[in-house]
Amino acid sequence: MFRLLLLLVALPTSVFAHGGVVDDGDLCIINIGYLQAHFKIYVPEERQHEDYCEDIPVRGESIFVMEYQHSGLSEAEIDFRIIRNVTGKGRFANMDDIDAIDDLDNVTVRYEPPAIVPDVFTMLQPFEEDGEFIGIVSARQMDTQKVYTAVFPFEVGYTGTGYWPWFLGAFVVLQLNYWYLSRRRSKRTTAVIAMLLMFVLCAPDTLAQDDESWVSDAGHFKVSFVSELDPLTINKIHSWVLHVEDDNGEAITDAEISVNGGMPEHNHGLPTVPEVAATLENGDYKIEGMRFHMRGYWEIRILIDGGTISDSVTIALTL
């Protein structure tokens, strides 16, 4: 069991590469069908000469560079598109998921139309916000008119945990398999297996809603919400119904509500400007325009003006 775990740890990072870009030692290779090119991304103003394969750790003007390894790319029409990753598949998005998008232009942040670019293709794209994106590179051979495509999901402002969750998951599976094969049926073993299974099966990557509530900074109000999305997911605009009570549990009606927030660890706000669309009954308020554009820790700040008393509450969420 431990030999297999060590083998997983020793695997090269290219095994875990996603999309059309592969980390091959010191080089990043993009596979456009059978056509290959060296692939690099630079953020010169922020990170000088450092280059990246896919994920970009900071916002700013990013330069995408493809140095052709195959002569066929020098004679092909190359087009490059970057879209927001609205597929819901994260790093596992592929061309089928992109084809399923109803309005591709609406989620496109940059498109370079087809052109023959000899030897080296470069494109400058400024990113003003963190988030998940997908790069789509197509090459059309002029003699055969065949089109080859590479798709690579990537993140801007990437602060992921790397591959350790994979190793942990592999260790759990191997340990469960070891216990099963050894047929140790002690109560202790059964309890440990049950806990591990509960951890693996009940740890989602999105936030499920519950009956949690939050108390305002000065203790004057208690706030809870129900989201249109359950569980909460990224890159989808949705609404909330916000419920506001006083410290005695009485509903607060006709209050002035404003919403802001962001990711304090990334030092940026919400990608939208949520607002109260309707005042409902029994202390409920409909908030339109909620959207989270990346995974991680968020704080939603609710400002409540009840007329004679004003207070604010912070809703902490991890997606």
Q: Report how far residue 103's alpha carbon sits from residue 116's, in angstroms, rounded to the nearest whole number.
A: 27
Q: Give a yes or no: residue 80 inside a domain.
A: yes
What domain range is 244 assigned to?
A: 214-318
- Asked if 150 and 276 sit in the same domain, the reply is no
Q: Give a yes or no: residue 1 inside a domain.
A: no
Element containing residue 195 per DSSP (H, E): helix 187-201
User: Based on the structure, what is the number of domains in the chain?
Assistant: 3
- Asked if 23 and 144 sit in the same domain, the reply is yes
- Of 201, 226, 255, at which residue does a domain stop? 201
Residue 147 is predicted with a pLDDT of 94
- Asked if 261 and 187 sit in the same domain, the reply is no
Q: What is the pTM of this model?
A: 0.48
Q: Report how far residue 133's alpha carbon sits from residue 82's, in angstroms, rounded to the nearest whole number.
A: 7
Q: What is the DSSP string of 65-90?
A: EEEESSHHHHTEEEEEEEEE--SS-G
Q: Give a yes or no: residue 3 inside a domain.
A: no
Q: Give a yes or no: residue 270 inside a domain.
A: yes
- Asked if 261 and 146 sit in the same domain, the reply is no
- Asked if 152 and 170 sit in the same domain, the reply is no
- Asked if 173 and 255 sit in the same domain, the reply is no
- Asked if 245 and 270 sit in the same domain, the reply is yes
pLDDT tens string, the chain, 319 residues long: the values are 544 444 444 443 333 334 577 765 557 889 998 899 999 999 999 888 888 888 899 999 999 999 998 889 999 999 999 999 999 888 888 999 999 999 999 999 999 999 999 889 999 999 998 999 999 999 999 999 999 999 999 999 864 544 455 556 666 667 776 666 665 555 555 565 566 656 545 444 444 444 688 999 989 999 999 999 888 888 888 999 999 999 899 999 999 999 998 888 777 788 888 999 999 999 999 999 998 888 888 899 999 998 889 999 999 998 8
Residue 15 is predicted with a pLDDT of 36
Q: What SS3 state is found at 19?
A: coil
pLDDT digits (tens, 9 = 90+) for 225-279: 999 988 888 888 899 999 999 989 999 999 999 999 888 877 778 888 899 999 9
Q: What is the CATH number of the domain that holds 126?
A: 2.60.40
- Asked if 192 and 224 sit in the same domain, the reply is no
What sign for the dihedral angle of Cα 226, 228, 233, 234? negative
- Asked if 177 and 277 sit in the same domain, the reply is no
User: Which residue, 15, 16, 14, 33, is CA-closest to 24?
Assistant: 14
